[in-house]
A and B are shown apart, each in its own frame.
Chain A
């Protein structure tokens, strides 16, 4: 259940260009969060929260990890926080990815840029459940590559960069028909990437994680809508998502 919580920063480090990895200690969040959920981070001086996905969960030590890219005033401010300080957040927010319990399943994870962290959180859990995991990760350039070694431990991992400065040159979609047969795919990243993937993998069982600018982050203000094929004609990304079945919403 979502609560307003204080999380204590126990580590913060730049791990790639403009990309910060932050480890946060909090009992409620670490004990209840599932892969795909996010924190709605509230900062003094900012009217609105910043949604940031959970990238790793350590229930034993009550730690969750987030990775964020510095793109504007809020993430810049967040990057300035130091170890020992506390941040306020609503969480865990949204719904996570459905998890397979069946060992004979192969899943494909496709992450683009800062959409990679939630894919890691999911992949790690699936690998723990003995699911066969394949990962295709796309980044702009070599400078932005994150979590390659971590993925290597849980998945057969392919890396692509837009300019070929690391891994294969091209887009994640270029590799879709080169990987082995899979039963289900999960993806998170920029919208054009998700659109290309759902287009190419039409008919496959797939789950997508979407982004939209948020107001309340809890389902009350109707800022974060996405057209959907249901009775009301829409879904809320913050509370019905951010994870959706690929054919459930219109992107």
Chain B
């Protein structure tokens, strides 16, 4: 195995770097910048049962060391994604991870089942940061019982491994991780964005039309590291880590905290070549800090 390779359920990665869901579309735009086969894997933009138009604009705002977004899960629906986008990505020699979302448990099941029927998707990432319309809008991702329920139901219809993407908007991240572990999750993906707000001074109104948005970028990295570190000590699932990664040093920090692979989101906006550059820099950074391989660095932070 090469120094950058990592094996996780359903995923034999040549390297641990993948673009994060929603920050890379379905890869088409970035395929103009470099060969997507260089990536460890690609995580697609969220898919829902039917097409969604998303939120009104403005949908993004810049913040100190980060940004807020409220795209609103805009996507053409799972069938079109399978027909057009999965087909497009399948031409590259890199695993595809499908990010799935829904407003009801049935919608999650339906989307998961649809991706299971294609040959080209290697794993599912369950985006549970959505409110459940049937249960009065309770967030799947902030309630351990709901999170476990949706995980269990999706697992039942899925041969593909399921990585549950945890929301950081909770008091006890370990409780969330344990709940989805006992519901059968194959892995974790963490963290999603933190809910925030920015007020536009001239209009005295929230700048984002949706009022609140999800904070991402370097501002949230310490929170991601802390949460992965806490979860790694108590839960026995492989973790795809994310939150503010900009360079190979950041990647090593995530590996040390306990991530087996990482996703890079917001940093693609400031530099469309960032994933490729991180992959190129990673061997040197590993060596500089005394590691011969990615595998060797995983979870090597000193746990006290």
Q: Which residues of A contact B (CB under 8 A)?
A: 1-2, 4, 42, 46-49, 74, 90, 212-226, 232-234, 239
Name 24 interchain pairs, CB-CB below 8 A, sorted by A: A2-B32, A4-B33, A47-B62, A47-B65, A47-B66, A48-B62, A49-B269, A49-B270, A212-B57, A215-B69, A216-B268, A216-B269, A219-B29, A220-B23, A221-B23, A221-B25, A221-B60, A222-B25, A222-B45, A224-B57, A225-B54, A225-B74, A232-B76, A233-B53
Do most interface residues of chain B lie in helix, strand or loop, or is the interface mixed?
loop
1/0 contact trace for B18-58 toward A, CB 8 Å? 00001111001110110000000000010000010110011
- Contacts A220-B25, A220-B29, A221-B71; A213 near B270 (Cβ below 8 A): no
Would you call B54 and A218 a contact (CB within 8 A)?
no
**In angstroms, how far is the closest chain A Cβ from the Cβ of B76?**
7
Do most interface residues of chain A lie in helix, strand or loop, or is the interface mixed?
loop
Chain B residues near A223: list those with CB within 8 A: 57-60, 69, 71
Would you call A47 and B57 a contact (CB within 8 A)?
no
Would you call B29 and A216 a contact (CB within 8 A)?
yes
Cβ-defined partner of B59 (8 Å) among A217, A225, A239 = A225
Chain B residues near A234: list those with CB within 8 A: 53, 74
* Chain B residue with Cβ nearest A50: B62
Does B142 sit within 8 A of A, measured CB to CB? Answer: no
Kindly state the separation between the CA atoms of A217 and B74 in the bound complex, as whole angstroms: 17
Q: Give 9 new A-B contacts, CB below 8 A, not counting A47-B62, A222-B54.
A: A4-B33, A42-B270, A46-B62, A47-B269, A90-B272, A219-B29, A220-B268, A223-B71, A225-B57
Which one of B54, B60, B67 has the highest number of Cβ atoms from chain A below 10 Å of its Cβ? B60
Kindly state the separation between the CA atoms of A222 and B59 in the bound complex, as whole angstroms: 8
Chain B residues near A222: list those with CB within 8 A: 25, 45, 54, 59, 71, 74
**In angstroms, how far is the closest chain B Cβ from the Cβ of A119?**
24
**In angstroms, how far is the closest chain A Cβ from the Cβ of B127?**
15
Chain A residues near B63: list those with CB within 8 A: 47
Does B217 sit within 8 A of A, measured CB to CB? Answer: yes
Does B271 sit within 8 A of A, measured CB to CB? Answer: yes
Chain A residues near B57: list those with CB within 8 A: 212-213, 223-226
Does B61 sit within 8 A of A, measured CB to CB? Answer: yes
Would you call B273 and A48 a contact (CB within 8 A)?
no
* Chain A residue with Cβ nearest B33: A4
**In angstroms, how far is the closest chain A Cβ from the Cβ of B74?**
5
Cβ-defined partner of A48 (8 Å) among B30, B33, B45, B67 = B67
A-B complex: 4 closest residue pairs judged by Cβ atoms: A220-B25, A223-B60, A220-B29, A218-B29
